[in-house]
Amino acid sequence: MEFVQDLLTTFNFIVQGLWVTISVTAVALTTGVVIGIVLAIVRVYGHPFLQIAVIIYSVVIRAVPVIVIIFILFFVISRYVNLSPFWAGALALGFASGAYQTEIFRGALQAVQSGQMIAARAIGMSRLQAIQSIVLPQAVRLALPAWGNEATLVLKDSTLVFAVGVPEILRRAQQVSARTFEPFLAFGVALLLYLALTLITTQALRWLERRYRLQM
Amino acid sequence: MTAPILRIEDVHKSYGNLQVLKGVSLTVQPQEVVVLVGPSGSGKSTLLRCINLLSPPTKGRIWLEDQDITAPGVNQDRVRQRIGMVFQEFNLFTHLTALGNVMIGLTKVRKMRKNEARDLAMFELERVGLADRAHYYPAQLSGGQKQRVAIARALSMDPHIMLFDEPTSALDPELTGEVLAVMQKLASEGMTMIVVSHEIGFARQVADRVVFMEGGVVVEEGPPQCMFKQAIHERTRAFLRTIEYMRHAP
Amino acid sequence: MNDVIDLLRKVTPDLLQGTVVTLQITAVSLTLGMIVGLPVGVGRVYGPGWVRRILGAYVTLFQGTPLLIQLFMAYYGLPDIGITLGRLQAAFLTLGLNSAAYQAEYLRSALQSVSEGQMIAARALGMSKWQAIWSIILPQAVRLALPSWSNEAIAMLKYTSVVFLIAVPDLMGQAKILSSRYFAPIQIYLIVAVFYIVLVGITYLILTWIERRVRIPGLTSGTE
């Protein structure tokens, strides 16, 4: 009975971090999508000078561990703006993910047949219009499998904001284990909670992929 | 009459509910060249795979040189060492050179020393006229060359009988000649061969016997002269006309 | 500018020490990951049903949860059930088993992309199933898996950076100490970022060179 009691206490405490984990992931992914799509468009269609800037951003960020980026941005942000650890951490995670998503959307944009752009221009669309309403909708669908993979990576990487004090699943697990002196149980619950989260996410992404697959 | 080298008795093979072989019997004498013909799906390739136990028969028995190789407890790997097989798609080992392809059976299966294996492999490559391509990878060889390496690989194991599963079907027409020439040479050296092929010219010149299969059974068999001139069954005649026509078609 | 050079001079020795630890953990984890990942990958393709299920569960567990929680479990959780590991041991074990799961998956998809005819031809030569796997299928699969393996090596190099959270004195561990000693977290973490860029860059060059060395015509993954 005592074990069940402990399990319930532990679970109830940690599960409150679930919402934080999901929120951090959502903010980071949204930030990353915006950065990724914009920079991918610049990378493929932009001025050569801007293209080089994007390449540098992407190569540099992807060569640095996410935790290092989180630390740098966390200290930079908290020096100049008054942001909570949650927002600083989530935005930093998104900034890092943006580099990976740039590569994903770049690949997808380049995979859309060049004839699509030509045809769009031929019916009188401007370049931007063509990108926005013809090329991008196709590219986003093509990017979905790789993007789903990145989404689960970000979900897992969201534990890294633990290091800047955000009360997500791992932080909650650590806190409760300090109180109950049952770290195995606490981290076990955290692991299983995460496992459920990633499995559900994977299934959802698979469903999305099927739903929006393009016949080509 | 000498003892047969291969005796197939009432062999059945089915995959799930699909019956591919419905009781095939066939006897092959040493040094005999048997050409198997028949429409696709007639079970020719399956029969070859039954003979070397790549897919053992579901019913029936096969004797290879007085050994019942379908008996339980038979070491199938040992049996396959005595049976050489050449595939339609060559199946050369992609990561090995031509020489490496011929050597690997010698070193890994016959446990030969590297030097010895290399000499023997070179000899086999010379036999198929490819000594100068020994260090090429499969991707660097033409289809005909690949198939000749595959023949050398099978020969290196010193097989007692060779099975050819449509050896020229995946080749461009201008490359079939070199492969058929190697096969003809083998036959003249006295190799026992079972060949699934639609090459009428080869069958006429080289085969001792032509076996016509359809629907998982042997319909008719006989010497090539008879088969091509006066097959008894209308189905056999119709089929042989079709492939002959296709061969001469522009 | 002089400040930066001054700081650089002060922190570089410690950071180099941390770099050694980082490289050590990377090397041990990748090696352990290979030793465990190879049989797991082969077992997932060629093993009997129950073996495949167990190995599948192992891969799902390690790929489905964050490395950092795995690390905390190994270092703080396991002593609870009588398994006490040192900091470095916990790092080696967690990162090694984590990497093994990923390496096994790369190997699995490479094994599955080797055409069926290779196995059939090997068996026709008289090889046993395991002989064929070992001398025909595996050498091809390993080459096909090499590009993903290179990615994994670089990912691992970067992921070792979480071990400082259990107080292992790797590159990040040193940085953390230094940043509170000199009250210059931004500068120091930027320097650390540069360290990582150099490490990743060198690793990338070495791996690309290896990939080119072992390339065999007709045996590459993807389009070529």
On the 0-12 / 13-18 / 19+ scale of CB atoms within 10 A, A80 is exposed
- pLDDT category of residue C223 using cuts at 50, 70 and 90: very low
Side chain identity at residue B229, one-letter code:
K
- Two tokens, residue B10: 């009432």
- Two tokens, residue A183: 């770290």
Residue B86 confidence (pLDDT): 96
pLDDT at position B248 over 50: yes
Chains B and C are touching, with contact defined as 3 or more CB–CB pairs separated by less than 8 Å: yes
For chains B and C, what is the number of CB pairs under 8 angstroms?
76
- Sign of the Cα torsion B231, B233, B238, B243 reads negative
Q: What are phi and psi of A170, to 5 degrees?
A: -65, -45
Three-class SS of residue C56? helix
pLDDT at position C222 over 60: no
pLDDT in tens, C154-177: 999 999 999 999 999 999 999 999
CA distance C158 to B15: 50
Query: CA-CA distances (angstroms) from residue B168 to A52, B141, B199?
Result: 53, 15, 8
Residue A9 confidence (pLDDT): 86
Would the CB atoms of B157 and C125 count as touching at under 8 Å? Answer: yes
Share of chain B above pLDDT 90, in %: 75
CA distance B33 to A106: 60
Distance from CA of B1 to the nearest CA of C (A): 30
The chain-wide mean pLDDT, for chain B, equals 91
Residue B234 confidence (pLDDT): 74
How crowded is residue B185: how many other Cβ atoms within 10 Å of its Cβ?
14
CA distance B162 to B177: 19
CB C97 within 8 A of CB C62: yes
Per-residue b or e along B213-222, where b marks 16 or more CB atoms closer than 10 Å to that residue's CB: bbebebbbbb
CA angle A174, A178, A184 (to 5 degrees): 65
pLDDT at position B49 over 90: yes
Residue C221 confidence (pLDDT): 65
Distance from CA of C114 to the nearest CA of A (A): 23
- pLDDT category of residue B7 using cuts at 50, 70 and 90: very high
- pLDDT category of residue C1 using cuts at 50, 70 and 90: low
Residue B250 confidence (pLDDT): 45
Provide mean pLDDT across the span B185-199. Answer: 93
pLDDT in tens, B197-239: 888 888 888 999 999 999 999 988 888 887 777 767 777 777 7
Higher pLDDT, B241 or B24: B24
Distance from CA of C201 to the nearest CA of A (A): 8
Strand partners, B218: B213
- Two tokens, residue C65: 């949860």
Would the CB atoms of C172 and A177 count as touching at under 8 Å? Answer: no
C21-50 residues touching A, CB cutoff 8 A? none
Residue B242 confidence (pLDDT): 74
Residues of B in contact with C143 (CB under 8 A): 95
Nearest neighbour of B137 by CB, restricted to C131, C135, C218: C218
Residue numbers of chain A with a pLDDT score lower than 50: none
How crowded is residue B15: how many other Cβ atoms within 10 Å of its Cβ?
10
pLDDT at position C224 over 60: no
pLDDT at position B40 over 80: yes
CA distance A157 to A155: 6
Residue B246 confidence (pLDDT): 62
The domains of chain A, with CATH numbers, are: 2-211 (1.10.3720.10)
- Two tokens, residue A106: 């770049």
Would the CB atoms of C218 and B139 count as touching at under 8 Å? Answer: yes
Residue A197 confidence (pLDDT): 95
pLDDT at position C74 over 50: yes
CA distance A129 to B115: 69
Three-class SS of residue A123? coil
- pLDDT category of residue B247 using cuts at 50, 70 and 90: low
Residue B236 confidence (pLDDT): 79
Would the CB atoms of B52 and C128 count as touching at under 8 Å? Answer: no
